[in-house]
Structure 1
């Protein structure tokens, strides 16, 4: 269930952002601009050094602004700052880096501090196991950004929305406080069904993110193709079935329920096709996080997207062959065993 949109700002807060990638840096610039005290932590030495010496540069709509944020290499973090002093620790690292960064996150948190997963995938369970469910929150977002140089992040125009919530809603004002903290980063809405919304976002990531990488197309180009939409609907059905089997209550995906995405005739539902086509129009030129990860590092989060669906499906006696195929193709691309599909995905129709 989604609550009202929040519009009031918080007094200055002390915020640590672990993972100074594109999303972490854009969030840092937005928070600093709102008057908050922001410190970045990252493992890219040149990036950290540039931010220290020149500030963090944010480029939006062709205009550049400089933001004074502290930055530390993760290797020196504990010695360089006052530990256990941050009210908020936003974890914006890649999902597969979560175990490595949890000791740092724990050291940075103030006694009443909270860690917020600002990551793709569903990592709140691992965080809660290490730090406690009451100190674990999540922020699922559509938020475009790209690191264009050390110390420089460019905002990608398009929809900027965030859904924030707690692992176990307890009636406190903490979720609303987080929404007010992030107010200037985009349109923020609270939810009392964080896990269900995470599965909703995972559905979008599984059916779109890897296909953007494999095809070389933009969001608008990809979603304009009817055969690709057919494939996406079938992929979404696998994700939704895994979510339901795992006990989650997925929020509607692009306005449509789990029942619609998992129906036997889902691929013939014109409303689903129209929702995907419209979603592509909103994405426009965006190519999302998996493309950026691959271009920057040669690896992706496919194991935390489609791979998670495959693992959860197996746990519950289900099959997810399309998500398994996607994981296989992206893994082959990471290993240099294949290339992108020459701006198209014609072979997909044979898989469904």
Structure 2
């Protein structure tokens, strides 16, 4: 399969390496020039389960994307959510009539942007539980096991979605076809909407958040807002199960600083808050549902972005 991976960070590099090693034609697109230069000059240097490997793959900026009409069969999206619109504007030359897009980004609402560039029947949605750490330009650490869950957005896409599952499994990505991936997306969004935003505002790791006496109440209030909005979209979240799922991270990955913390506090980059708590705020307004916790978290994160002068 001819695959383009948008975003050559840790996760994009993992998928690119594993799919390339399984015999697929893989191209990378990234916007970080230092990363592009490192991969062009030296390949991707990866420590995969304590084994050092190096994989050379073609990489370009979105603006350098192939203008010859050499379309991708599948585009896998690992850009930052706030870069989605701009990136897809740039990569339109590789989007053909039969090109499918698989969005594996955290958060909700990405399909509204993707519909501007590909037919809805060509959109696949999913989540992944694989992990990856970027140590610097062209350098990643890949450890442990993971999985992918995906589904076509409309019935017409099922045949291709099942083909993607097969391609992923041949690459060792442990994919499965889901009959209700939207539930899983909202469930994972609850994890991000609690841990990411709270740890970023409080400037703490997951374990430190869990040790506060306010943690349980905060989680339950935020999850309740996600559940109220998701129900309007036909997704009924089990709030107790989701709360327990999030709470398990306090001890399971307590030393971890969530990605939003790393983006804003560590690297002074814009966050994806508009596609997490901000998405619940916007949908709440649409459905007439009050979402005060998501409202204030979104506002606080944006205020912190301003204070740190990120753009």
The TM-score normalised by the length of structure 1 is 0.78
Distance change (3 Å), C-alpha of 1:191 and 1:224 = farther
Aligned-partner Cα distance in 1 for 2:130–2:262: 13
Kept in 1, the 8 Å contact 2:191–2:246? The answer is: no
Deviation at 1:71, TM superposition (A): 0.6
Contact conserved, 2:127 with 2:185, CA < 8 A, in 1?
Answer: yes
The structural deviation recorded for 1:40 is 0.6
Partner of 1:133: 120
Cα distance, 1:225 vs structure 2: 4.5
> Which residue does the alignment assign to 1:166?
152
Shift of 1:284: 4.5
- CA deviation after TM superposition for structure 1 residue 224, in Å: 5.0
Deviation, structure 1 residue 49: 1.4
Q: 1:297 Cα shift?
A: 4.4
Gaps of 5+ in 2: none
CA 1:26–1:288: 2 relative to 1, 3 Å: farther
Check conservation: 1:196, 1:248, Cα contact below 8 A.
no
Residues 1-352 of structure 1 correspond to what in structure 2 (within 5 A)?
13-79=1-67, 82-122=68-108, 123-155=110-142, 157=143, 160-170=146-156, 172-183=158-169, 184=171, 186-245=173-232, 247-250=233-236, 252=237, 257=238, 261=239, 274-294=244-264, 295-336=266-307
Structure 1 residues 206, 158: CA separation in 2 closer, same or farther (over 3 Å shift)?
Answer: farther
> Please, which runs of 5 or more residues in structure 1 have no aligned partner?
1-12, 262-268, 339-352
How many residues in Structure 1 have an aligned counterpart in Structure 2? Answer: 306
1:106-132: CA deviation from partner (whole Å, max 9, x where unpaired): 321344221111212220232124311
CA distance in 1, matches of 2:139, 2:133: 9
Change in 2 beyond 3 A, CA 1:129/1:119: same
CA distance in 2, matches of 1:190, 1:151: 31
Do the aligned partners of 1:158 and 1:284 also contact (CA within 8 Å) in 2?
A: no
> What is the RMSD computed on CA atoms of the aligned residues?
2.5
Indicate conservation of the 8 Å contact 2:95/2:118, yes or no.
Answer: no
Give TM-score scaled by structure 2 length: 0.88
